[in-house]
Chains A and B, each alone.
Chain A
Amino acid sequence: MSSPIVRLVAQRLALGLLLLLAVSILIFAGTQILPGDVAQSILGQSATPESLANLREELGLNDPAWQRYLRWLGGVVTGDLGTALSSGQDIAQSIGGRLWNTLFLAFWAAVVSVPLAILLGLLAVRYRNGFVDKLISGLALASTSLPEFFVGYLLVFFFAVKLQWFPGISTVYDGMPFGERMMAIALPAAALTLVVLAHMMRMTRAAILNVMQSAYIETAELKGLRPFDIIRKHAFPNAVAPVINVVMLNLAFLIVGVVVIEVIFVYPGMGQYLVDHVSKRDVPVVQAVGLIFAAVYIGLNIIADIAAIVANPRLRHPR
């Protein structure tokens, strides 16, 4: 019965893997083939030609690019992300805890923003063209124009400095009690929520509105159904897929927003780690973190696609 669905989902997953492979090539190429020399970066301008040549040999920089790429990819697949040039530490190890921190932050931002965005989107549809709708779209327009750091520092300025409700710097450490940890991430999570909320709400509104304007909603109205039943029985089943789609796309935005937010709140996550090492021109770290960000982003996009496939009655019940 569901064979076309299984086929399409498998197809989409395979395509995602292929895309990820292409992205890894792109990231590798972006850092290796462009001008700039890793050995030079490590040793600095004063390095002697001999030491440079030795280091190049040691790092395998004299091999052709495709060999270095395959070596790198082989490492990534087996969980070996190499060592950081600037500190000599194992990258996979440094990433472990930070990845968890970032996911923790993103998770709580999502827990707040997703239901809120859907609720506000529904409200905007329910009172379409009314005051609530206009207010919501006005705020949406404004907040898509706000830089993340404006939102972030406004929160810090008022809630950390003036009111002193929450810490302005989000220090977390291993074994920190849950309550304290939540206090620490309150402001960054709020900032992230504000960054994605408006967009997610606007898209939810559009998705639901699209369903509400279908002819079958009129059919239901002309059968005498109550407005609430129309939404529950006739609009909701068709709106689920587009809304999941909207949510996933926005979680992908959220993952990117994390970078700036972490820097604002000095939060020890992936974004902070990436930015630090871009300034240090620490290529292996940048490659590894860039790939992880891209993988999460692509993964969320694939989930969005799969949700749309699974929810489509035409595919679930083929002719």
Chain B
Amino acid sequence: MPDAAAGRDRPESLLEMRKLRIEATVYPPGEDPKNITLVHDVSLTLKRGRVLGLIGESGAGKSTIGLASMGYGRGGVRITGGEVVLNGRDILRAGSSTTRKLRGREVCYVAQSAAAAFNPAHRLMDQVVEAALLHGVAGRAEAERRAVALFRKLSLPDPENIGRRFPHQVSGGQLQRVMTAMALCPEPDLIVFDEPTTALDVTTQIDVLAAIKEAIRDTRVAALYITHDLAVVAQVSDEIMVLRHGRLVEWGGTRQIIKEPRQEYTNALVSVHEISHDEQQPGGTPFLSVKNVTASYGGGLVKVLKDVSVDIFPGQTLAVVGESGSGKSTLARAITGLLPPEKGSVTFGGRKLGNRLSDRSKDDLRQLQMIYQMADVAMNPRQPVATIIGRPLEFYFGLKGAERDRRVAELLEKIEMGKGFADRYPAELSGGQKQRVCIARALAAQPRLIICDEVTSALDPLVANGILKLLLDLQKEEGVAYLFITHDLATVKSIADSIAVMYRGEVVRYGQKSKVLSPPFDAYTDLLLSSVPEMEIGWLEKAIGGRRMASAGN
């Protein structure tokens, strides 16, 4: 099986795209439809058995290029120019029956969300072998034998029987591997991986990544690996192509791209996590203490926080780290009073805060502000920026008219946006600008603590970086403290003063950043730390080799 692809007598270059141009028609409400160009004359070559990483921020056109290798345009996207030569023939000029024959035979696809990409009505095995049977690659028994072998190779539990399950009976990480097996089953020449690990938790991501890498190596299939995470793509690809706004920025060997980037934009992507921040010592007394808080949903049925205690010091940042389901966002809800704790208390400036929102004074509410993950839904779409930022000024300080406008302009200045933005609506702002406006709204209340709930995880890395820098600058100027909730350890490393690691509702490790991040580690923190991809070739093997604990969401 390993040399199935390599053994064929075909040209050395498997895939060649020449001056590929891809367009789409968009229908902005209330305006005439217009054409936009998603990909501008991009060319690439991929040799047999090689892995090319396509990297870029959202809107870079990387998925569109990936799908073009199968002659497919998603949702009204049209390939309008150039050539896509696969196995020696231009598939754009070929008819639809040719494209159908190559899909699932020569090129297979692994989607970002396997959970949505599997048909809920059929068993996994039927879907895994479907393409192989359809294209006559193998008979049913042979295809199923192959599938089981692939399940085993991808370290799925119970490989003999997992195929009998339905998609909803299998976890997200496992489903992603089954999808990889589905792509490998017909022994294609090329697999397009479209952000296959992005939707997974970090500790699960590394396992899936390792499994994919091994499968690629053993079957010698070629791959286009699409992702926005340079550290991830560095682990699996031989070459990397950096894209931006549908144009090629830089293309080179993996080592060259991450060690000696030639373009400024690539350099920015490589050094995205380097933010200078000196850890502050916990000085004096904490102004906010969470003491032995236990909380649950559904009237005590589901305990999501168990006996949690943390302190926040003035002007410092406490980062709460954990994977989905660890209870980190629930902690924020308990502190703000949205979810009254069952046991324990939250004290602020030495006195106990009311458990419920309605028990707290206006001034207590003012002191605790919040910034959300999804900035677009955190702002009322029918209010202009001036109202969004101005309302807390009016509500807490009674500012009106010109005075209020002056203060709004000041705040816009602080978040590095001009006062021209005051009469814009949220829909007219970019993702980063929206998050900045949310920061300004929080600052307007002049709080002592801002709770930041995954504030950068929906943003592209460079934009996220800008937001983090802004938050640190504002902390220096205003002396505000942050409770920073995140799943991303790289972010934590750059901005925290102290860290609480949460796992299944409990704080498993807590203290100053330097102490939390230095050994000896407990098993979970070790797993979490070792799972954060590093921009180092060979990191993946090292990390997998040194693990003590199986990942949680496997």
A interface residues (Cβ-Cβ under 8 A, vs B): 214-216, 218-226, 234, 237-238, 313-314, 317, 319
Are B100's CB and A219's CB within 8 A?
A: no
Given A216-B116, A223-B104, verify A238-B121 contact (CB < 8 Å).
yes
Are A317's CB and B119's CB within 8 A?
A: no
Are A224's CB and B169's CB within 8 A?
A: no
Given A222-B109, A224-B131, verify A313-B102 contact (CB < 8 Å).
no
Question: Taking the complex as formed, is B295 at the interface, i.e. its CB lies under 8 A from any CB of chain A?
Answer: no
Q: How many residues of B contact A (CB 8 A)?
A: 30
Q: Which interface residue of A214, A215, A216, A224 has the most chain B CB atoms within 10 A?
A: A224
Are B109's CB and A224's CB within 8 A?
A: no
B interface residues (Cβ-Cβ under 8 A, vs A): 70, 72, 74, 99-105, 108-109, 111, 113, 116-122, 127, 130-131, 134-135, 165-166, 168-169
Q: Which interface residue of B105, B118, B130 has the most chain A CB atoms within 10 A?
A: B130
Given A215-B116, A216-B116, A224-B104, verify A317-B121 contact (CB < 8 Å).
no
CB neighbours (8 Å) of B118 from chain A are 216, 219
Closest to A214 in B: B116
> Can you give 17 contacting A-B residue pairs, CB < 8 Å?
A215-B111, A216-B118, A219-B119, A220-B119, A220-B130, A222-B109, A223-B103, A223-B104, A223-B131, A223-B134, A224-B105, A224-B135, A225-B130, A313-B166, A314-B120, A317-B168, A319-B168
* Bound-state Cα–Cα, A238 to B18, Å: 40
Are B121's CB and A313's CB within 8 A?
A: yes
CB neighbours (8 Å) of A218 from chain B are 74, 111, 117
The smallest beta-carbon distance between B296 and chain A, in angstroms, is: 23
Closest to A319 in B: B169
CB neighbours (8 Å) of A317 from chain B are 165-166, 168-169
Are B104's CB and A216's CB within 8 A?
A: no
The smallest beta-carbon distance between B135 and chain A, in angstroms, is: 7
The smallest beta-carbon distance between B73 and chain A, in angstroms, is: 11
Given A218-B74, A223-B104, verify A237-B116 contact (CB < 8 Å).
no
5 pairs of A and B residues whose beta carbons are closest in the complex = A223-B104, A224-B103, A215-B116, A237-B121, A224-B104
Are B119's CB and A224's CB within 8 A?
A: no
The smallest beta-carbon distance between A317 and chain B, in angstroms, is: 5
* Bound-state Cα–Cα, A223 to B118, Å: 12
The smallest beta-carbon distance between B158 and chain A, in angstroms, is: 14
Are B119's CB and A216's CB within 8 A?
A: yes
CB neighbours (8 Å) of B130 from chain A are 220, 223, 225
* Bound-state Cα–Cα, A237 to B169, Å: 18
* Bound-state Cα–Cα, A314 to B74, Å: 28
Q: Which interface residue of B72, B117, B121 has the most chain A CB atoms within 10 A?
A: B121
Are B113's CB and A215's CB within 8 A?
A: yes
* Bound-state Cα–Cα, A317 to B122, Å: 11
The smallest beta-carbon distance between B499 and chain A, in angstroms, is: 35
* Bound-state Cα–Cα, A216 to B117, Å: 4
CB neighbours (8 Å) of A225 from chain B are 100, 104, 130, 134
The smallest beta-carbon distance between A271 and chain B, in angstroms, is: 40
CB neighbours (8 Å) of A224 from chain B are 99-105, 131, 134-135
* Bound-state Cα–Cα, A319 to B167, Å: 10
The smallest beta-carbon distance between A108 and chain B, in angstroms, is: 33
Closest to A222 in B: B109
* Bound-state Cα–Cα, A238 to B119, Å: 8
The smallest beta-carbon distance between A284 and chain B, in angstroms, is: 47
* Bound-state Cα–Cα, A319 to B165, Å: 9
CB neighbours (8 Å) of B100 from chain A are 224-226
Known: A221-B72, A222-B103, A234-B119. 5 other contacts (CB 8 A): A219-B127, A223-B134, A224-B135, A225-B134, A314-B168
* Bound-state Cα–Cα, A314 to B121, Å: 9
CB neighbours (8 Å) of B109 from chain A are 219, 222
* Bound-state Cα–Cα, A285 to B44, Å: 80
CB neighbours (8 Å) of B120 from chain A are 216, 238, 313-314
* Bound-state Cα–Cα, A218 to B77, Å: 14
The smallest beta-carbon distance between A225 and chain B, in angstroms, is: 7
Closest to A219 in B: B117
* Bound-state Cα–Cα, A177 to B40, Å: 74
* Bound-state Cα–Cα, A221 to B72, Å: 9
CB neighbours (8 Å) of A313 from chain B are 120-121, 166, 168
CB neighbours (8 Å) of B165 from chain A are 317
The smallest beta-carbon distance between A95 and chain B, in angstroms, is: 43
* Bound-state Cα–Cα, A48 to B130, Å: 85
Are B111's CB and A219's CB within 8 A?
A: yes
* Bound-state Cα–Cα, A214 to B116, Å: 7
The smallest beta-carbon distance between A52 and chain B, in angstroms, is: 56
Closest to A215 in B: B116
* Bound-state Cα–Cα, A223 to B119, Å: 13
CB neighbours (8 Å) of A214 from chain B are 116
